[in-house]
Structure 1
């Protein structure tokens, strides 16, 4: 039986627990498609799973909630061998083995075909980053031209792309970073105002916009959510999408005290609602035409997965980290 390389997590812990092993290539059956993985992006949720902060995940497990590659085998015949596809969050790397491998077997329901001449390192950055940003801005926040948006966690890969897409749609953007040395990075990326986030932004935001911002994209998570709600104007909306703080829940949550009157609170989770495939293909076309530019951090090889995780964990640089499998 043919074999492949996979990064296997036998038990949660540090990056050193990711072990490169030779495994049998999975066999495609039923409504599952075998993908020859070309590249995948790293995600903070994978870091949390690696640390043992995803209690529903059993081990050993191959992590990885997204990938791009080519169809190796589809028993149904819907996808052709060699066809370019992306796989999105929907149990990958959590309920079943994911993309930290040269091949992965995934349900047909989480696959989207696409056409592109972009290199695999660029394509590998796109699936979940695009889904999350587009879904947060358009499906959850329902942004409109002329609005003011606060993007909290602006130097993350999601934050960097959110700034660009918000500007492209005519919004004024406030973006945050905890690191003063990254202010210029956010300004160059398109932010109209850059705020240093010390955990409390209300006074800084309301010096600029006394009533608060129209929309807020919360990427830090539960630790700053209350402050983000307070930064948002009446009838505005906060979307909690990210958990850079690695905190899932809020202790002693009292909605009547926590949420300001008339401010809306929602979330976006690409595992629950997926952006329609035509928007994904259009995003790729926009990249190819130079209308949008990706913010990439570093590219690693699968054999360097431990170093890739350490880079993500250290918050070094900004933008998406991509891993190639060849």
Structure 2
């Protein structure tokens, strides 16, 4: 770490593959009145980072153009209006950008204390998926005890988080994944039924396990390819919550009748464009309802692999290969 007010960070030379990423040196960011500056110990790697590198997920106005949406570390400076956070605090938080760097500015309303017993790597793997899952599955879709929920991409960072949180709050969890190993991981995390989508039809499995009723909520990151089948798999008054479009955003020749006949809801959101106030509301819910579960060890991030900061390009290759189970994390020396 430099003592001259500079820092190292990951830059991209242009939109493209992992090779456009490299280490650069520049000035440390300065916190605004409602921000904190964190000396980063670890940073999570997420699909939106890959999309930004490829040019399909630009940062919102005013956000750092540097990749990275979640970090863990120590507060080294804070704005004049920040209350409840102090220099020296170990924290993790949701960044609007700038996480792949030795120092990162975070809005104070998106910061949480590192739970007791959690190391920096695990702490850095919490914010992005926990904010996303809580906002979409609990706040918007309204998941509650006793419901049946289907989590697509169950072995992903989002999926492993969603399975644990849904189970912890009393739901029965179905999850899809692409290999036997990934399905086994879903079951170990709390899924009652894990569906290998190469071998089974998730609609048939869901209906068979619910006596033909279907599931109450589906958390989907696949998009177009699953849209019609998701409608079929939902129970009356069910909700489809969409958080990504890995198969594309445009579904063609879709029969919308099930939405009307079964009174279905279709929701969706992305976290990054939300206002600071909206993100703070998610943060406050997590602090009250989820942080105790993490402290008790009932819920925890699943770490797939850790890379050195300088190996960010390899971390992205690993994510794009699709073999990971859980989260990928960068660490800083």
* Structure-2-length-normalised TM-score: 0.85
Contact kept, 8 Å, 1:305 with 1:323, in 2: the verdict is: yes
Rounded to whole Å, the distance in 1 between the matches of 2:297 and 2:24 is 39
Q: CA deviation at 1:212?
A: 1.2
Q: How big is the shift at 1:30?
A: 4.0
The 8 Å contact of residues 230 and 260 in structure 1, kept in 2 or not, is answered as no
Q: Which has the higher helix share?
A: 2
Unaligned runs of 5+ in 1: none
Name 2:178's counterpart in structure 1.
Answer: 178
Cα root mean square deviation, aligned: 2.8
Partner deviation per Cα, 1:189-242 (whole Å, 9 max, x = no partner): 222112122595323322333121111111223331232122101111111123
1:48 aligns with 2:51: yes
> How far apart are 1:298 and its partner, in Å?
1.0
Q: 2:8 aligns with which of 5, 11, 27?
A: 5
Cα separation, partners in 2 of 1:280 and 1:300, compared to 1, 3 Å: farther
Change (3 A) 1:110 1:168: closer
Secondary structure of the 1:162 match is: helix
Deviations 1:73-102 (A, max 9, x none): 12306342212333315xx23xxxx11000
Q: Cα deviation per residue 1:137-196 (whole Å; 9 max; x = unaligned)?
A: 321221222211111111111111211222222222111112244222222222211212
Partner of 1:303 in structure 2?
Answer: 310
**Aligned with 2:194: secondary structure?**
strand
Q: Does the 8 A contact of 1:200 with 1:227 survive in 2?
A: no
Aligned length: 318
Is the CA contact (8 Å cut-off) linking 1:225 and 1:240 kept in structure 2? no
Tell whether the 8 Å contact from 1:226 to 1:259 is kept in structure 2 after alignment: no
Stretch of structure 1 that moved more, 170-179 or 193-202: 193-202
Unpaired segments ≥5 residues, structure 2: none
For 2:17 and 2:128, the matched residues in 1 are separated by 24
Aligned equivalents of 1:246 and 1:5: distance in 2?
35
Query: Relative to structure 1, is the Cα distance of residues 11 and 232 closer, same or farther in structure 2, using a 3 angstrom cutoff?
Result: same
- Supply the distance in 2 between the matched residues of 1:54 and 1:100 (Cα, whole angstroms): 16
TM-score (norm 1): 0.86
Mapped to 2, the partners of 1:150 and 1:115 lie a distance apart of 28
2:90 is equivalent to residue 88 of structure 1: no
1:266 alignment partner in structure 2: 267
Deviation at residue 322 of structure 1 after TM alignment? 1.4
Matches within 5 A, 1:1-326: 1-54=4-57, 61-76=65-80, 78=82, 79-89=85-95, 92-93=96-97, 98-113=98-113, 116-198=116-198, 201-209=202-210, 210-243=212-245, 245=246, 247=248, 249-250=249-250, 256-257=256-257, 259-261=259-261, 262-271=263-272, 272=274, 273-274=278-279, 275-277=282-284, 279-280=286-287, 283-326=290-333
SS class of match (1:129): helix
